[in-house]
């Protein structure tokens, strides 16, 4: 029992990390797109738990609100509008490109590992104190991100919100176009 109490943080990290990796593998291996989307949602939530364990509460909240909330809704819209049932199995899974995809994944993984290694060597101590101060004044992590986001990066933040709004309106228009064609007498496949 003392071992569990002494190493609870490490045990919890390994359990959550294992669930995260298993859910991420499920995203790319599950054939049903709805099951893959649920696996992606689990991945997003477990990454938020990892952020909380790293004392990055703001990033955890953003992970849940933006990715598990907003981005998942967009994925589900795409799944509903794409009519994947109408596609043949050859059009959904391109098995001929699997070796090329594995090679590209390995090369990309190596490049990311090299970038992380070089970045960690150049970053110094990597303390969290860098994100807790604005203009030399010590404040909390969430407040520092808020000040930077809404003062220095306000215009890019608003541009992204307008782009997401336009994408959502476009998805609604494309989805309703089929219903309008069916109402005009043309036959639309279910």
Q: What is the pLDDT of residues 143-168, one digit of tens each?
A: 777 777 777 778 887 888 888 788 77
- The domain locations on the chain are 1-87, 153-190
Cα angle 52-56-61, degrees, rounded to a multiple of 5? 70
**How far apart are alpha carbons 38 and 96 in whole angstroms?**
27
Per-residue model confidence (pLDDT) at position 92 = 47
Per-residue model confidence (pLDDT) at position 80 = 74
pTM above 0.85, yes or no: no
Per-residue model confidence (pLDDT) at position 20 = 95
Per-residue model confidence (pLDDT) at position 148 = 76
Distances (CA, A) of 112 to 8, 106, 107, 109: 30, 10, 9, 5
**How far apart are alpha carbons 57 and 49 in whole angstroms?**
9
**Residues belonging to the chain:** 190
Averaged pLDDT score across all residues of the chain: 76
**How far apart are alpha carbons 47 and 41 in whole angstroms?**
10
The fold for domain 1-87 equals 1.20.120
**How far apart are alpha carbons 25 and 35 in whole angstroms?**
12
DSSP of 51-102: HHHTT-HHHHHHIIIIIIIIIHHHHHHHHHHHTGGGS-HHHH--GGGHHHHH
pLDDT at 126 over 50: no
CA-closest candidate to residue 40, choices 73, 15, 13: 73
């Amino acid at each position: 029992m003392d071992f569990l109490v002494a190493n609870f943080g490490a045990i919890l990290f390994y359990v959550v990390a294992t669930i995260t990796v298993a859910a991420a593998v499920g995203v790319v291996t599950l054939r049903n797109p709805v099951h893959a989307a649920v696996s992606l949602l689990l991945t997003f939530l477990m990454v938020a738990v990892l952020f909380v364990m790293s004392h990055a509460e703001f990033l955890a909240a953003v992970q849940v609100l933006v990715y598990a909330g907003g981005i998942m809704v967009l994925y589900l819209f795409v799944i509903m509008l794409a009519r994947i049932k109408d596609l043949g199995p050859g059009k959904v899974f391109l098995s001929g490109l699997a070796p090329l995809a594995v090679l590209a994944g390995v090369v990309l993984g190596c490049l990311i590992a090299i970038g992380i290694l070089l970045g960690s060597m150049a970053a110094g101590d990597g303390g969290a104190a860098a994100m807790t101060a604005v203009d030399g004044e010590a404040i909390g992590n969430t407040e520092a991100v808020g000040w930077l986001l809404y003062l220095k990066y306000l215009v890019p933040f608003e541009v992204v919100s307008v782009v997401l709004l336009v994408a959502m309106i476009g998805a609604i228009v494309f989805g309703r176009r089929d219903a309008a064609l069916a109402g005009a007498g043309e036959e639309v496949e279910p």
